[in-house]
A = this chain, B = another copy of it.
């Protein structure tokens, strides 16, 4: 029996709902015991206590039909649901719902690779399909297609694309390479987008547009519908591929590096997203903090310098890959080398130039050829497992990146955290990934992490950097920074939400979008939470 009920649902109604859920999916796939069964649905890596976001229950449907029945039931009873496929969402709030009592719909069992088309180079997957699963499936069937994966192998192919996630091959903008979706709406009906809405079309995973508004994007990173199928374009294995790393000696090289990256990126000499790791990030993946520093205060530069020397790293370490014909790659590599060769202390690393046990080289090069692995996730062990990620977006200009680096370091150090960052240069913008690392068992540290998070988000917005994604606890705060045109974007999203989910059952509060029916409760939600979370200042 569940101890927590969904908001505004009385225990008797919820008990009846649980029995109906059992009718739908069978008794093995409805989870209600907070200790034994719901533990995997709690978030223990966040700056807020796990007790603030406990689901009332979780249910794991086997297929689309069962998911439709669950959604219809929730819609009838006005039970808010929190849904996802696979992946962990660590750093952004984990598996736990937005608020206590939401019913989690866990689509992990819907993990079929529905189609692989070798000639046309695409796959169609269900929400429970992870990168590693798709990769292994392609290996098993002897496919010559590469996937583009996120850093952790357990990430979901659909979930990541829906969150505007990025990978490491030329197919790295996952939403751009998505093609065609099936979406389950709050009333239990299905919509297929693009060509998929035309009965008998063979082009639903081949051509991004259908007729009329192109609505795939509407279903990303929000709560307008549950994506139950998606096409994803795959990259034919190129005839040749060359990964490389370029290290830079001085932290002050940042301005020059960014200015040199830009023309290479805009002209597509760089075909994939260029990763520019700060030393902190490169070290964090390979070593726990305790190897170097056990103080509460941020690790000082001379200690970072020691780690840098131990691991043969630069203060900035740039990773990229070239893809195409062998000679073509040689020409591009010449251009790239020449672009950076005059920077004092620069070092170029090609295959074989670093030891066979070089952790960074080994996992980065795997990612750049679409081989999922879990190495990068080691970075969460830096300081006790707790971490909060930020992904503010900046223009690819040296002076702005330097300003942001200085500003964010000051904020993070002032709150007692190490400054851990990397830049991911996408087509014309750059994602400045930041990570607060902390020990979630230390309440004081947790509270500081919370305060520091708020300050990072607001400081980034003050210099025009919008977050690409937000931790569940900071969704309202981030959505609030997109406040231009008298809040025009938020008002529009609100209208669409109310129109296609009038009872507001699909992930209320996701990305700061609350159904109208929840508006009166929203201030109270926030008040309650600040009482719980309130910094001890």
Contacts and interface: CB of A to CB of B under 8 A. Distances in A.
A466 B428 CA distance: 33
B197 A511 contact: no
Interface stretch (A55-63, A214-222, A344-352): A214-222
A262 to B, nearest CB: 7
Given A211-B467, A212-B493, A400 B485 contact: no
Most buried by B among A208, A429, A463, A481: A429
Given A196-B484, A206-B396, A122 B428 contact: yes
A267 interface: yes
A114 interface: no
Contacts of A207: 393, 426-429, 468
A224 interface: yes
A479 interface: yes
A44 interface: no
A131 to B, nearest CB: 20
Interface string A439-483: 000000000000000000000011111111110000000110111
Contacts of A218: 213-215, 217-218
Contact of A499 (B121, B197, B499): B499
A490 B220 CA distance: 19
**A-side interface size class:** 35 or more
A525 interface: no
A203 interface: yes
A479 B325 CA distance: 44
A266 interface: yes
A1 interface: no
Given A200-B464, A484-B192, A492-B191, A479 B211 contact: yes
A202 B460 CA distance: 12
A243 interface: no
A407 interface: no
A498 B502 CA distance: 13
Given A325-B331, A461-B198, A429 B266 contact: no
Nearest to A120: B428
A236 interface: yes
Contacts of A139: none
A164 B489 contact: no
Nearest to A331: B325
Contact of A202 (B193, B212, B400): B400
A378 interface: no
A265 to B, nearest CB: 10
Interface string A392-426: 01111100100000000000000000000000001
Interface string A309-329: 000000000000000010110
Nearest to A233: B428
A394 B89 CA distance: 38
A185 to B, nearest CB: 7
A204 to B, nearest CB: 9
This protein's copies in its complex: 2
A7 B136 CA distance: 60
B466 A201 contact: yes
A16 interface: no
A522 interface: no
A175 interface: yes
A217 B207 CA distance: 14
A486 interface: yes
Contacts of A427: 206-207, 233
B395 A206 contact: yes
Most buried by B among A190, A217, A466: A466
A500 B495 contact: yes
A492 B327 CA distance: 50
A191 B491 CA distance: 9
A489 B206 contact: no
Contacts of A179: 428
B209 A175 contact: yes
A123 interface: no
Given A193-B489, A499-B496, A120 B468 contact: no
A367 to B, nearest CB: 21
A519 to B, nearest CB: 16
A210 interface: yes
Given A203-B464, A218-B218, A233-B427, A511 B325 contact: no
Interface in A357-377: none
Question: 5 tightest CB-CB pairs across the interface, nearest first?
Answer: A207-B429, A214-B217, A499-B499, A213-B222, A200-B464
Interface of A: 119-122, 164, 173, 175-176, 179, 182, 185, 189-193, 195-203, 205-222, 224, 233, 236, 238, 262-263, 266-267, 325, 327-328, 331, 393-397, 400, 426-429, 461-470, 478-479, 481-486, 488-489, 491-493, 495-496, 498-500, 511-513
7 contacts: A176-B208, A211-B466, A212-B479, A212-B513, A213-B219, A218-B218, A328-B328
